[in-house]
Structure 1
Amino acid sequence: MTDVTTAPEPLGLRERRRLQTEREIALAALALFEERGVDGTTVDDIAAAAGISGRTFFRYFGSKELAAYVPDVEIDLGIAARIEALSADRPLVPQVEALWRAVVEGLGRDEARSVLLRVRRLSLAEPSVRMAGLHRDEQRTDALVQHLLALYGPEREVEVRLVVEVSLACLRVALDTWAVAADRGREVDLVATYDTCMASLHTLTRG
């Protein structure tokens, strides 16, 4: 019989705790980067601000630049659940579009919007942060593509990669449009902007 005091935690709870710790470290890093710049901040500085060791820092981030990208626990867990729920029995395009739409819906919270804008401003000001973000996005995109290929089959690789890349481009356009408007003091509905981007894409592809 398993001792309930030593039974493993559910994966969802472990992942939530991991993401929360990652978020706390990243928020500390973001604040230091804003105050001192990336070059003026060390991993030890970030670790001290987050109350962890430098060794622990590298359990969560491969570099200090990657720590600028603050995870959102609820959004990240929601995306993971949606990816796991993807099914080869349903059309590919609507499922991928719904995945990114869930992201923009999650960014509707004031705190999420505020952090995203801070990260975006930092990435525009710091080339090393921007490059780290591009590499991070490439890795995550490739992971999603591999997951979809396992569902739909390798013979659909071109289609899968095209759907993922094009839909991601729409997401980026929506986020950039919203962020630029926010920096200029204008309110833009992010979800509506994403829907407009997708509608424009469908119009273009229909010729």
Structure 2
Amino acid sequence: MTWYSTTTSPQPDLRERRRLELERLIAFAAIDLFERNGIAATTVEDIAAAAGISRTTFFRHCATKESAVLIDEAGLERELVAAATLVSAHSALRELEQAWEAMTSGVEEDPEGLDRFLRVRRLMRDNPSLLAAGLECDARLTQHIADALVEGPGLVPLDAAAVAESFALGMRLSFDELVRKVDRNPGARPPVLNEVYGDVRAALQRANRGAAK
């Protein structure tokens, strides 16, 4: 699940806007119920009722109740995979990171989206079933990126997997660190995600230098 907006995607048509709005409605209904009643006690029927839709409509958009809060309505995953096909083989990881930084620039200026993101990450932290669903989504995205790195710049599968896994690790650590920073300073201006990502990249570089000794 993301709240990102990008400048490279074409504007959605009316049908697509309605779909996105419905998926946001489902996501917020699910988040509210998960926080209030717990994930285990919340049913698909509960979420559908809170969103004002039928069970059939729910499953048209979400495979499970957990996936209701992990919807990538901004299309970030599609854009990351597309970016992976265009990077250079000799600097694939850094170019992929730069593409992600451009996609997520200024996201902290979207208070509603940021709040939703933080609530979901906290739910993931405290609920194994949602964490598992989130990790499954991450694994799928990582594989899609690896496949794109083979197809586009022509990396061998092992190198493509290493780049994709390294990128995914940095992304996950950035999300977790963003939540920690916000929770440590409630009420303060939210940190800039790209700055958090820079801190994570520096930490990973220190860890790699230590492992090489």
Tell me the TM-score normalized by structure 2: 0.77
SS at match of 1:152: coil
Instruction: Find the aligned partners of 2:81 and 2:137 in 1 and give their Cα distance.
Output: 18
Quote how far apart the aligned CAs of 1:33 are: 0.9
Paired residues for 1:1-207 under 5 Å: 12-13=12-13, 14-71=15-72, 73=73, 76-77=74-75, 80-81=78-79, 83-85=81-83, 86-87=85-86, 91-102=91-102, 104-105=104-105, 107-108=107-108, 109-153=110-154, 156-185=156-185, 188-202=191-205
Give 1:5's aligned residue: none
Question: What amino acid sits opposite 2:201 in the alignment?
Answer: M
Equivalent residue letter for 1:96: L
What is the percent sequence identity of the aligned residues?
35
Name which one, 1 or 2, has greater alpha-carbon Rg: 1
Q: Which runs of 4+ in 1 moved over 6 A?
A: none
CA RMSD in angstroms comes to 2.7
Greater relative CO (CA pairs within 8 A, separation 6+): 2
- Gaps in structure 1 of 5+ consecutive residues: 1-9
CA deviation map 1:106-162 (0-9, x unaligned): 531222221111111111222111111111211122122222222133x61111111
Q: Which amino acid aligns with 1:189?
A: V
Structure 2: runs of 5+ lacking an equivalent:
1-9
Separation in 1, partners of 2:56, 2:99: 34
CA distance, structure 1, for counterparts of residue 19 and residue 152 of structure 2: 27
The number of residue pairs the alignment matches comes to 194
In structure 1, C-alpha distance between the alignment counterparts of 2:95 and 2:112, rounded to whole Å: 27
